Copies of this chain bind each other. A is one copy, B any other.
Amino acid sequence: MTSWIRFQSPDGGIGFGVLDNDRITQYEGDMFGAVRATGIERNLNEVTLISPCAPSKVVALWNNFHALAAKLDKAPPSHPLFLIKPSMSVIGPREAIRRPATYGGKIAYEGELAIVVGRRCSEVTPEQAADYIFGYTCINDVTAVDLLSEDPNFAQWCRAKGFDTFSCIGPAVQTRLDWRAAHVVTTLDGVERQRYPLSDMIFSPEEQLSLLSQDMTLMPGDVIACGTSIGVGSIKDGATVSVSIEGIGTLSNTLEARG
């Protein structure tokens, strides 16, 4: 069980390594390929964490939890329902979520489990899928809710969820996670708003990776946001959302107050 992070060091360089309590063992090379220990150790408080990977795309699922499907009175889908969020939407722990300059409406948090793809894959079976999953992290899949239904003819999923800073991921990628035993807990300014079991997922991580790899080639570092469950709500400007999953850690991001 290894907890990979990326960070910016005081000299401005970007590094990555393994986190064990507050100690970082720094590596070099390709996090998803060959890595070598650098011999450098750092303390967590010496560095600034950044997103633990830099995905070429984020594939975000909708309607992947039985409890939310039941609440919305929607049938469970027969294939993962997804939209694509661009790489520029990704930020890391403690980076600010920015309200789009052109948007004054409701902005919602969605605390979720995220899968980090480890190897390029296409048309992988569910049995093979585990070999292609590098690990797991937390995601806050942020949404400019009012845009979703702004046009009566076209649900604007990519626009509402694709803004820069709207995919908060981190703090670490955990290579082993007993997701069936874990919960997603989301707090808003310290008040618990979501607590749901990952065992309630409609498509398991392995099924998601397998089925999505029928739809497109997934690349190392790509992120699959597994969908959220009940308890989604809106973030006031200046409020902080924290997403926690046992074994991964806590991801906190604040919606920047308007100037």
A residues lining the B interface (CB < 8 Å) = 56-57, 62-63, 74-75, 77-79, 81-89, 100-102, 122-123, 150-159, 162-164, 214-217, 219
Residues of B within 8 Å of A153, CB to CB, are 63, 74-75, 77, 81
Pairwise interchain contact A155-B158, C-beta atoms closer than 8 A: no
Q: For the complex, what is the distance from the CA of A158 to the CA of B56, rounded to whole Å?
A: 15
Pairwise interchain contact A154-B214, C-beta atoms closer than 8 A: no
Pairwise interchain contact B86-A164, C-beta atoms closer than 8 A: no
Pairwise interchain contact B159-A77, C-beta atoms closer than 8 A: no
Specify the chain B residue showing the minimal Cβ separation from A153.
Answer: B74
Pairwise interchain contact A215-B162, C-beta atoms closer than 8 A: yes
Pairwise interchain contact A156-B216, C-beta atoms closer than 8 A: no
Pairwise interchain contact B216-A88, C-beta atoms closer than 8 A: yes
Pairwise interchain contact B154-A63, C-beta atoms closer than 8 A: yes
User: Could you say which of B62, B63, B81, B84 contacts A84, with CB atoms under 8 Å apart?
Assistant: B84
Q: For the complex, what is the distance from the CA of A100 to the CA of B85, rounded to whole Å?
A: 22
Pairwise interchain contact B86-A56, C-beta atoms closer than 8 A: yes
A115 CB to closest chain B CB (Å) equals 16
Specify the chain B residue showing the minimal Cβ separation from A81.
Answer: B154
Q: For the complex, what is the distance from the CA of A217 to the CA of B167, rounded to whole Å?
A: 14
Residues of B within 8 Å of A157, CB to CB, are 83, 157-158
Pairwise interchain contact A86-B89, C-beta atoms closer than 8 A: no
Pairwise interchain contact A150-B79, C-beta atoms closer than 8 A: yes
Pairwise interchain contact A86-B216, C-beta atoms closer than 8 A: yes
User: Could you say which of B63, B88, B154, B214 contacts A219, with CB atoms under 8 Å apart?
Assistant: B88
Specify the chain B residue showing the minimal Cβ separation from A102.
Answer: B214
Specify the chain B residue showing the minimal Cβ separation from A215.
Answer: B159
Pairwise interchain contact B82-A159, C-beta atoms closer than 8 A: yes
Residues of B within 8 Å of A159, CB to CB, are 79, 81-82, 215
Residues of B within 8 Å of A122, CB to CB, are 164
Q: Which of A83, A150, A154, A215 has the most CB of B within 10 A?
A: A215
Residues of B within 8 Å of A219, CB to CB, are 88
Q: For the complex, what is the distance from the CA of A217 to the CA of B165, rounded to whole Å?
A: 10
Pairwise interchain contact B81-A156, C-beta atoms closer than 8 A: yes
Residues of B within 8 Å of A78, CB to CB, are 150-151
User: Could you say which of B87, B101, B151 contacts A81, with CB atoms under 8 Å apart?
Assistant: B151
